[in-house]
């Protein structure tokens, strides 16, 4: 059964994005389904200019604070219609745990690298979509 997460939203979540941040590329989908489906398939270094990726993806700023991994997607940079559709609902479904790269987790000071499956609240601001994810223990 998927957990429903609604801890951080609004001004509290916007404050989290002020912490140390890393810019990464986020590939949408489910890892075991070759990035088809819902959730986050993988988080990787930013793509070089002109490099194509067939899966739906978007750049995001990642930060870690108060036990939450926060993804901030700038609306001006989420260009593909498929990616934009993922933010049409107030909820973001993560069907399967996904891994954050070790160097990213280390730089952000995260105690774990895997994000828990669940249903997460999307905070919709004028400029961004914000998601705050729970980490799986150890």
Q: Provide mean pLDDT across the span 112-131.
A: 94
In the chain, the DSSP E strands lie at 3-5, 21-30, 36-44, 57-65, 68-74, 91-94, 98-99, 114-115, 118-124, 128-134
Checking if the pLDDT of 109 tops 90, the result is yes
What local confidence, expressed as pLDDT, does residue 20 receive? Answer: 86
Q: What confidence score (pLDDT) does residue 8 get?
A: 46
Rounded distance between C-alpha atoms, residue 64 and residue 82, angstroms: 27
- Model pLDDT for residues 21-67, shown as the tens digit of each residue: 999 999 999 989 988 888 999 999 876 666 677 788 889 999 998 89
User: If DSSP codes are grouped into helix, strand and coil, which group holds residue 38?
Assistant: strand
Task: Report the pLDDT value the prediction gives residue 4, as an integer from 0 to 100.
Answer: 65
Domain boundaries, the chain: 3-133
Maximal CA-CA distance, the chain: 40
Q: Which residue has the higher pLDDT, 3 or 73?
A: 73
Q: What is the mean pLDDT of residues 4-8?
A: 57
pLDDT value of residue 81: 80
Q: What is the pLDDT of residue 95?
A: 93
């Amino acid at each position: 059964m998927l957990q429903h997460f609604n801890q951080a939203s609004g001004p509290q979540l916007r404050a989290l994005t002020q912490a140390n941040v890393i810019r990464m590329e986020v590939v949408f989908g489910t890892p075991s389904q070759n990035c088809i489906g819902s959730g986050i398939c993988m988080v990787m270094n930013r793509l070089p200019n002109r490099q194509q990726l067939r899966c739906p993806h978007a750049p995001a700023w990642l930060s870690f604070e108060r036990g939450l991994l926060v993804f901030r997607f700038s609306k001006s940079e989420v260009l593909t219609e498929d990616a934009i559709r993922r933010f049409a609902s107030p909820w973001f479904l993560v069907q399967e745990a996904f891994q954050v790269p070790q160097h990213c987790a280390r730089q952000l000071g995260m105690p774990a690298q895997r994000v828990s499956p669940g249903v997460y609240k999307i905070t919709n601001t004028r400029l961004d979509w914000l998601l705050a994810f729970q980490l799986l223990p150890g």
